[in-house]
Structure formats: C-alpha cells, structure tokens
Chains A and B, each alone.
Chain A
Amino acid sequence: MNFLDTLIDRAALSRARDLFRLRKEAPPLERAGTHALRALLVLALVGGVAVLVALARGHHVMGTNSEMPWGVLIATYVFFVAMTSGLCLVSSLGHVFGLKVFEPIGKKAIFMAMVTLVVGFSIIGSELERPLALLKWAVLSPNPRSPIWWMGTLYGLYLVVLVAELVFLLRDDHRRAKVAGIVGVVMAVAAHTNLGAVFALSHARPFWADALIPIYFLAWSLVMGASLLLMLVYLSDAFATGGSLKPESERLFDALRKLLVLFLSIVGVLTVWRFITNLGHHGQAFEVTMAYLTGPFMVSFWLFEVFLGFVLPLVVLLGSKRSSARAVTLAAGLPVLSAFVMRMNFVVAGQMLSLKPVVGPMGETMTYQPPFKGNTSGFLPYTPSIVEALIVLGAVAAVVLLVVGGLKTLRFTKEVQS
C-alpha cells in the first residue's frame, strides 16, 4: 500500500460528501449533525470569500485603524493557535510522556492541533497587509529582536513538526513519533509563550506589558487543550452510540475532567494576580483593569470570563460525580467560548487608551490639530467590520469541518487499516 494510503482512507475520502447528505432514516442526532455540517459549510465558504476580500483590500475593509491597529482577527488568531499548543501539550501526556490513559486520543489531538494552526495562519494572513511579503522578508531580512518574527518562525517550524508527528503517528512509527512529539512539545511551549511575549514586550501598552502574560497564555492553552479533547472524546462516542459515553472512554474522560479542573484553577490564580498587580500600578494598566472590573468590559468580564468561563465550569466539573457526561462536556465547552471573549477583550483593552489623551499628565486640557479619532473620549472605540466578523465565523466553521472530515477519512485506528 502506498504512502498516502497509510494515512488516508481513500474509500472514506470518496464518501466524504455523504457527510452533507441527509438520510431520512438516520437517527435524529445524526440528522441534526448533518444539518449543522451543511450550515458550517456555507459559513466556511462565506468566510473564505471574506478572506479573499481582506487580502485584496487590506485595512480598507477592517474595523481597525492607526489608533486601534489590532482587532478581532489578531484575537481569533491567538485563540486558534492557543488551541494548537494546548491540544499538542495535553495529548503529549500520552504518546510522549507515556501516560497510557491519554494514548487513544494522541493522533486525533495532533491532527486537530494541525487544523487549528493552519486556520490560525490563514487568519493572520488575512490580517496582514501583505502576507506573502512576510514569507519573503522574514527569510531575506529577518529581525531576531522582533517577537512577531519569532512568532512567524516558531509557528512555521511548529507546523512542519506537527505534520511529521501526525504522519509518524498514523503510520504507528512510535519511535519517530516520540522524537517528533518531544520537539512538538518544546515548540508548543516556545511558540505560544513567545506569542504572549508579542504583547508582554509592548512597553507602550502597560496592560499588556506584564511578565505573567506568556505563562498566562500557556495556562490558557492547556485549558483549551483539555476542554477540546474532553469534548472530542464525548462527541465522537455520542455520535456512534447515539448520546452516551462508551465505557472504555470513561477513564480518559475522567482524567481530562481532572486536568481541566487543574488548569482552570491555575488560570484562575494567574488572572487574580494579574489584576491585583495591575491595580497596584498607576496609569494605563490600572485604568484598563478598572474598565474590566467596573467599566465597558464589566459584563463580558464578569459574565463570560469569570462566571461562564470559570465559576460555572468548575462547579459542574467538580460536582460531576453526579453530573452526567453531557453536562460535563457542556461545562468543558464554556471555557473555550470564554477564551475567545478573553482574547478579544485583551487585544482591544491593550490599545483602548489613546496615546494622545484629551487630558494631559498634569491635568491639562489637550487640543490636537488635525483632529485625531481618539481625542474625543478616553476610550477608543472598536467594532469589527463585517469582513472581519465573517472571517472569524468562517474560521470556526472551517475548523469543525476539517476536524470532522479528518476524523472520517484519516486512518486513526488499526481497524480502518486492516
């Protein structure tokens, strides 16, 4: 059997379009799934168009501007690559660190990591004014002092490693897979903490310039890795069994639940200290933190980041001796949603205070000519443009589709091979 066939089940591939075919007699859960997939397909296609528009028109179709240069696309990119690292790290517990429980999901996890990274790349690609130029100049005219350069380089290499790792895993080449896995773990940590540094090194933006950020990012990625895998385990069982967890998955499911609790707690502690230290600071970091606690971000912070993203999940996960697998899965899903909100807020909050304030350091009334957008009020506004919004939705849809598609067509298990 040739190389590709060791990876992909051609038969399944040719049946791929069945995913979108509605079978009258199919069980309700599957029919619902089909409907969902169809919807996602549409979203993904629309998103694809949006990406093309973005590539063609650049910042002309973005909600960002010279005073708020980074927007939802950056947030979404960070969101997806956080998944990549998280999936990679959590799953490595199995095929790298040899914890048997986790082995079954290794391959799928790495595959998902790859998907999220590729989608992440396409988003940052559409955010850049000239993505191809970056490929060119990052090589011809590198700037090792630039976190963005490291970001590109590390994630670039990381993708290569992931692909290799997946190939070895699919071909059950465990020796090589392990080596690739180790490298992968290192890259996962390096790439994502560096991404944290992209913000942490922005001295001009005190809310970001915080040594905790890289670790904070890492912790968050672990949360997402655990939640996503937990959901994966449950959902892939559920679709097969029509709603319930397979007995053989229970240990894994429970382990992931425990991990998630642990990671959430770590993120919780980090968040608390980030905010406390910020409140200790003067100036921007303080003001922005207050914007979280009592200002414009109040609702999304307390509701999404704290309650839905943290409190509620913890309650369910801890009390889950009694709570059903479905409830646990839902609870595990919440932090993922919260992670998106968190990144959105984080990116905007870092830039929301105009560097050309209407009230000067000594309380002067400042007047600027020509007038700048940001001078009217303390906080700069940002609303994503339609194009930006569509790209984000399309990206989410694409991830789900690719994952489902991959799960159906890649040779994850021996059975398929024989």
Chain B
Amino acid sequence: MTTQLGRRTFLRIGGGTVLGGLAISAGLLPATRAGATQDSGVIPDRVVPTFCELCFWKCGVLASVKDEKVVKLEGNPKHPLSNGKLCPRGAGGVGALYDPDRLKTPLIRTKVDGKEMWRAASWDEALALTAKRLAEVKQKYGAQSLALFSHGQGGAFFKTLLKGLGGTTIVAPSNDQCRGPRESGYELTFGTGVGSVETIDVAHSKCIAFFGSHLGENMHNTAVQDVSAAAANGATFITVDPRFSIIASKSKYWLPIKPGTDTALLLAWAHVLIEEGRYQKAFIEKFATGFDELAKHVKDKTPEWAYVETGIAPELIRETARELAKNAPAALVHPGRHVVWYGNDTQRTRANAIVNALLGNWGKEGGFYLPSSMSVAGYPTPPLPHGESYVPRVKFPLASAPCAYDVCDASISEKDSPATIRAWLVYGCNVPLTLPNMARTLEALKQLEFVVAVDTMPAEITGYADVVLPENTYLERYDDLEASPFKVPYVALRQPVVASLYDTKPGWWIAKELANRLGVGEFFPWKDGKDFVQTRIEKSKLSWAALEKDGVIVGAARPITTDEPTFKTKSGKIELFSQTLADAGLPPLPEYEPPEDPPAGYFRLLFGRSPVHTFTRTTNNPRLTEVVPENELWMHVEMARELGLSHGTKVMLENQDSVKTGPIRLKVTERIRQDCVYMVHGFGREDRRLSRGYGRGASDTRLVTRVVRDPVMGGTGMNVNFVTITRWSPREA
C-alpha cells in the first residue's frame, strides 16, 4: 500500500536509540532461572493507584512496581468503574509503557537536499518551532484557522491552549465518527444525551435489546460487568446483529437483521407496543408529548412490513416486543455507542429512544438512571476568550459540536473557496486511520501549513506532522482529574507510576510550555501537573492524601431513580414528536430509509472491536498483539464456498471505489449473514516503525472511502461501503 503525497511526504519515524529499545524490551523478558525454585509471582516494591488510558472509559488501576519496573496492573477495587477488575487492554497496559517502538524524543521534519526526513530535536527547539509556526498561522489567518483534534484525558490542556489562543475549533472522533448521533437523538427526545459512561442500569434490567452493541467484544469494563451481572440475574437478552456476536451467543433471541434496516424493526416494535397497548400508558401520558402523532406514524409499520425490510419473521418481532413490554419498566433497548452506520443514525437512535420511552424506563431501576458527578473546583484562571467559531462548508442545523470530518474538509482549498483551517494540533488521535475517506484526510494533511502531533507512538498521524511531540504514557504522568457522571459521584487521579523512560513529557507540560511561548501562559498559572490537580482537590474540600493513596474518592451515593423525572427539552417533556426537528425541516418522527443494497458480487463491509484491542492504539502493544496478532475477515461458509476460498486463506479486499487493501486472513464461519463481511478496526498499520503492527491484517479505514452524512448532526455513516474479495497472491505488493 503506497501513499501518494505532495509537499508533505509520509515519513517513517526512526524510534529513538535501538539500544534503548532493547533495554526496554528486555524488561518484558522473563526473570532468569536464578529465582525462587517455585513460582512465587512478583512481590512489588510499591503499588501506585492511577487510571487507565488504553481506552476512554478510564478505569482505576493499581500498578505494581518492582525495581522501578511496572510489573503488573490490576483493577482498583475502590474505583467504581473497575470494581477491582480490568478488561484485557487495561491488564496489558504495561505493553504501552514498554513498547520498544515508542516515540522517544521530539522530532522535526526537515528537508535535506530535497529529501524530507526526521531530525531528533531538543524540546526547546521543537517547542520554539511549534510556537513560531502556530503564531505565524494565527497572525496570517486568525485564531479560527487553528484546529485541535483531541481524544484522551490529556486533551484538556490543549483545549485550554487553543481556547487561550482564541480558537474554538475543537473536534474529536468520538463525535461524528462515534456517538454523536446517539447524543443528538437522545437530546432531541429526552433532553439529555446518554454520555460516556452510558447512564443505563443494565445490571438490574430484566430484558435488554442490543442493536450491534457487541459487548464482550466491545470491552468497556463496567459495561461488560453490568451485562454479566444481568446475565447472572437471568435477564433476557435480545441481540439484533447481522453477526452472531458474543453477546448474541448469550441471548435468548438473536435477530440476524439485514444491515441498515434497524429503524424498521424499532418502528415495528413501537407499532406492536402501541397497537397491543403494551406500552407504559401512565408514564407516557404524564411525561411525553406527541404520542398521537407517533401512534399514527407507526400505524402501518407492522411486523409484516418490517419483515420485508429486515428479514426478521413477524412473529419474532412481536414476541421480542412483548418480551420487552413484559419486563418494562426494567426493560431496556441499549442506546448503542458507535452508531455512525448509515447516515440516518440520529433518526435511528430517535426510534431507539422512542421505544425506550414507550417502555417507561427513564429514571427507573433497570432502565436509564440519573447520574451524578463529583463537583470539583477549577483552578483559578482568567476567563478564556471566545472567538466566533469557524464556519464549515457543509452546515448541520442541530450539530452541537463541530465535526472532525468537516475540519478535514475546511483544511482543503478548493477553487473559489480557500481553506479556512490552516494548522492542526493533534492530541491522541490517529486521524488518517480514524476518519473515513483517507485520501481526503491525506489531502488536508498535505495542504495544511502546519501540523503538530502529540502522541506516544509513531502512529500514522505522526508520519504527516511537521513536529512530533512525544508524550509520556499514562503510567508516567499526572493528568487532568477524572469525574465523569456515574451512578455514584467520584473523582479519580492519574499520577506517575514510574519516571519517564525517555525524553518524553506529560501533556500538561507540553501545553503549558507552548502557552508560555505563545504568550498565553496566564491560562496555565499552576506550577505543574501535580499542583494543578492537588490545588483543585483541596479547594473542593477533598482529601488529597486519600486521593493519592486510593487513586479515587467516591462521594455519597445519591438516588439514581425517580418517579418524577424532568426533561431538558423545549417542552419539558419527552418529545416523541420533535418540533425541533420539524422546525429544522427534518422529519419530526423517525422515517425508515431502506439502505442501498450491495451490487452483485459485493459484500457490505462491517467492522467492530476485538476485546483485546483499542482501535489502532494497541495494535503494536507487545502484550496484546501476542494474544490477537491480526484481524480476520468474517465470511459466511456458503459465500466462501462460492468464491472457492477456505478458512485461513489470505484475501485482498477491493471496494466500490476500487481501493484495494489486504492481505487479511479469512474466517469462514456460520456466524454472519451472507450479504456482509466483518473485520476488527485498528489493524493494517502502515508505519514501518510499528514492528508488531505494520502490515498485520487489513485496515477497514482504507475501504471506508464513502460516507453518508447524518443530516441532523453531521455524523459520518461508515457502513455504506461494499467490497469484493479475491485470493491474495504473494506477487501482490
């Protein structure tokens, strides 16, 4: 796979000194024979509480240190998100720290007689250059021309930096590539989003329907713990998925739905609940508006109608709807998380929200709970300026946040419409492999005047940056406090477990240094990362000592259920019928739009998670790649037979825009519909410096050249790409 690039050619990063690498990788080698004759495990010198950054759930971990080496990570029993347990990625976090391929020093892109290459630089030089270039861009095009991609805890400091500079264009792939549509759908219906951690009481639910939501592969720790608790309590699971996922295998009902037709099923469920009078009448009467319009809307959305669209037998549709109704209000249609599937995703989550409303589960045990969060004082800083935000080319009436995808778009000059974004700060976001339509991302990266990437690994994004600033891993730094809304209020601390292994720095330091050099240091008045968090904890009348010792402070539990819920919608009620959407000229009630079918010989490309990996951030992690070294392409037995392909064969994928990628090994299985294929996202790494990830498996992103935008909030529906599959031959590059 070659990447065509103009000015900014793709640079592979020489990751620091080889010796360093060896020394560290030696850290992963087993203890020598001269130990206890009987395996006595490792007795740590100290145990440091902190929280995980292998994904964005942020569970509390206890890190055991022996001879200044982190030997193991365990779940923090006191942390409400871990309850002493970790998911496989969290348990393998040591691999992120001791990955020999890590970024080890700042890097500056330089031209040596026409050839672009990297030069290891001092922090002083790298920061000075970054500040100079950002200042230039700001001076030339204004603060609105600066954009920040931010995903991860340390992003907070760079948000302050960008806002300090007068910028407002702050985007995250967790919006328009992830759960943005769900948040809109729920805000439009209930007045509040579901958030992360999702505010659903799965553990006590008696019946849960999962649309996709492949928990068990999707390994958000607490979410999986809750699903497991529900299973242990004998809850009934209904899984709607074209693939027989792990959660499907735990479900009483598996509905192998035709991809993209979920709205039809949801509307049919609403139909059954209403027609059979099985919805929570009192609740609806008291708390909802627009019921009559809804009833009218779904009158003709019969299971028989839905059957034609979804391929799910009418009886099964009725039976599952009744199952949900029977257990209401302790019944739940899981709102999903990664919902950017087909573009009509806000409307689909609206339908999802409406069914939940009919189940009357808002504020109920086993339904949606009322979260609370620990109030933590801010650090006294001058008020941040608010520049007017940038104007995207494509506008979305109800977008609550700018879309990462549009920032890409705004960074490309087209004739009679010059780029409005000229420089990127990228924090913890592997943009090329994260945003759909890679060619476009690369075009933007090519045209941008300046790109600085703050990362821990030689991830693809760093290959396109002008300056690479290596951050400490989460086990080597202080970070912003973590106090997400949850069943119980809590605040968690991230603190260094060991000293930096290399010439890398924590995000707070990098941001503060840049701020000073850019003359906005007043927004970073604190001495250091520790002062930043300690002062706030003390101002909040919380015990710093306790936080340092336990890694978390859990506040007094508040009631999470209520019989008198209030809603932050315009009407103050649950809006089954959405005037807001109507006013914006959008369907006030979810309309079903049939998905475009794959052309003959093509499969729909679906993707998801491996329990052991997080996107691209772990696909070079020594501990995790050992267990799952590459992704596979799921294909139904029949289709494989037709194509004369067998289990384990290496195949190439080519999509409707003749983008080719692979090779990837085939998993021939009964566990998927015949009209689609499936793979795990995050593999097919393209930077040679990633010794374990490079070229392992295939990249779904490469094939997502087409997106359908969500008309409500701009989400990028990505399940709309079709692929053909051919046997790979070693001759192919």
Contacts and interface: CB of A to CB of B under 8 A. Distances in A.
Interface string B609-636: 0001000000000000011110000000
Contacts of B612: 369
A369 B669 CA distance: 17
Interface string B642-680: 000000100000000000000000000100000000000
Contacts of A371: 629
Nearest to B632: A367
A369 B625 CA distance: 11
Contact of A370 (B626, B648, B669): B626
A369 B628 contact: yes
Nearest to A358: B647
A276 to B, nearest CB: 35
A376 B669 CA distance: 15
Interface string A355-374: 00000000001000111000
Contacts of A369: 612, 627-628
Interface string B561-595: 00000000000000000000000000000000000
B626 A365 contact: no
B243 to A, nearest CB: 15
Nearest to B630: A371
Interface in B223-241: none
Contacts of A370: 626-628
A370 B627 CA distance: 4
B30 to A, nearest CB: 14
Nearest to B627: A370
A376 B629 contact: no
Nearest to A365: B669
A79 B648 CA distance: 39
Nearest to B88: A369
Contact of A376 (B627, B628, B648): B648
A365 B627 CA distance: 19
Nearest to A371: B629
Interface string A362-406: 000100011100001000000000000000000000000000000
Contacts of B627: 369-370
Contacts of B629: 371
Interface residues of B, number: 7
Nearest to B667: A367
Interface string A140-173: 0000000000000000000000000000000000
Interface string A213-251: 000000000000000000000000000000000000000
A359 to B, nearest CB: 11
Nearest to A367: B667
B667 to A, nearest CB: 8
Interface string A94-131: 00000000000000000000000000000000000000
Contacts of A376: 648
A150 to B, nearest CB: 25
A84 to B, nearest CB: 34
Contacts of B628: 369-370
Nearest to B33: A130
Contacts of A365: 669
Nearest to B668: A365
Contacts of B648: 376
Contacts of B669: 365
B647 to A, nearest CB: 8
Interface string A253-281: 00000000000000000000000000000
A407 to B, nearest CB: 44
B392 to A, nearest CB: 43
A371 B628 CA distance: 8
A41 B261 CA distance: 78
A370 B669 CA distance: 19
Nearest to A377: B648
A369 B628 CA distance: 7
Interface string B377-408: 00000000000000000000000000000000
B239 to A, nearest CB: 19
A223 B624 CA distance: 55
B285 to A, nearest CB: 51
A328 to B, nearest CB: 52
A365 B634 CA distance: 14
Interface string A333-369: 0000000000000000000000000000000010001
A358 to B, nearest CB: 9
Contacts of B626: 370
A365 B551 CA distance: 44
A131 B612 CA distance: 41
A369 B630 CA distance: 12
Nearest to A130: B33
A191 B629 CA distance: 47
A376 to B, nearest CB: 7
A203 B626 CA distance: 32
A106 B177 CA distance: 87
A369 B627 CA distance: 6
A325 B612 CA distance: 70
A365 B629 CA distance: 20
A369 B629 CA distance: 10
B238 to A, nearest CB: 25
Nearest to A370: B627
Interface string B142-156: 000000000000000
Nearest to B628: A369
Nearest to B610: A369
A370 B629 CA distance: 9
A370 B648 CA distance: 16
A55 to B, nearest CB: 15
Nearest to B671: A365
A56 to B, nearest CB: 14
B221 to A, nearest CB: 19
Interface string B696-717: 0000000000000000000000
A5 B214 CA distance: 84
A376 B649 CA distance: 11
B37 to A, nearest CB: 12
A369 B624 CA distance: 11
A278 B628 CA distance: 39
A365 B648 CA distance: 13
A370 B622 CA distance: 13
A376 B612 CA distance: 21
A159 B612 CA distance: 56
A365 B646 CA distance: 14
Nearest to B625: A370
A49 B612 CA distance: 45
A139 B612 CA distance: 47
Nearest to A376: B648
A369 B626 CA distance: 9
A375 to B, nearest CB: 10
A364 to B, nearest CB: 11
A249 B629 CA distance: 68
A373 to B, nearest CB: 13
Nearest to B637: A365
A373 B648 CA distance: 14
Q: Which of A369, A371, A376 has the largest count of B CB atoms less than 10 A from its CB?
A: A369
A410 to B, nearest CB: 43
A4 to B, nearest CB: 42
B229 to A, nearest CB: 24
Interface string A290-310: 000000000000000000000
A136 to B, nearest CB: 14
A369 B217 CA distance: 14
A1 B459 CA distance: 84
A365 B628 CA distance: 18
Given A370-B628, A371-B629, A376-B648, 6 more contacts: A365-B669, A369-B612, A369-B627, A369-B628, A370-B626, A370-B627
A-B residue pairs, 4 tightest by C-beta: A370-B627, A369-B627, A370-B626, A369-B628
9 contacts: A365-B669, A369-B612, A369-B627, A369-B628, A370-B626, A370-B627, A370-B628, A371-B629, A376-B648
Interface of A: 365, 369-371, 376
Interface of B: 612, 626-629, 648, 669
